Amino acid sequence: MSADGCAIVTGAARGIGAATAAALASEGRPVLINYRSDGDGAAAVVERIEASGGRAHAYAADITDPDQVDGLFAAAEAELGPVAVLVNNAGMRADGLAPQIGRDDWSAVIDTNLSAAFHTTRRALRPMLRARFGRIVNIASIVGIRANAGQANYAAAKAGLVGMTKTIAVEVARRGITVNAVAPGLVETRLTEGIGNGLVDAIPARRVGTAEEVAACVRFLASEEAAYVTGTVLTVDGGLSA
């Protein structure tokens, strides 16, 4: 494997994942579009990338299941070549005040937003370590850095993702592999529907961000130029966490 390998973007059927897949494809990198249930959305992303001259392939996998993660990587390697870039974007919400969050909602959010990223990262690192090259970018959230009432499970998962990012970055830095996180603030996607509630007034930039703005940051961290950037968290929030 080399810097010329393909990218896997999880949860890439829409939103930040779709924008990230398109951004990486625009750099000439083949991209595997992972999705769990939105096959039509994933197909639309593939079509858009191919219409722009890029190369992409969609693959359904529930990445909370390590066995399906193995299948995902096998498909990427068979269809597009060695995996040089992994973007852990898949996520979900199940909001509620702490006393109201049930066991199932807690587990589902932790499994999807944190444990799944560990499964994919562990699988990606095996060939990356041998090749002495790799780029892993985790999509965290400013909710993992600053409080947002009603999202204890989501905040715990994203804070854990930040801690995992920093720890693994230190473990693999000598092997030419970087591990970073991007922490979006309020970005206009389906996942953020219903949580604005006046928050724009608290954002110094006085606007909501776009998926494309987050994707541009991921594209840089996935590049060869970012070889000396690792273990960091890049906030993309219009100054909200400043």
SS3 of 17, please?
A: helix
Is 154 an annotated catalytic residue? yes
Report d(CA 69, CA 85) in Å as an integer. 15
Task: Catalytic residue, from 35, 59, 154, 228: name it.
Answer: 154
CB 14 within 8 A of CB 41: yes
Exposure string over 107-129, b if 16+ CB within 10 A, otherwise e: ebbbbbbbbbbbbbbebbbebbe
CB 89 within 8 A of CB 19: no
- Sign of the CA dihedral with 169 first, then 228, 21, and 94 last: positive
Residues labelled catalytic = 154
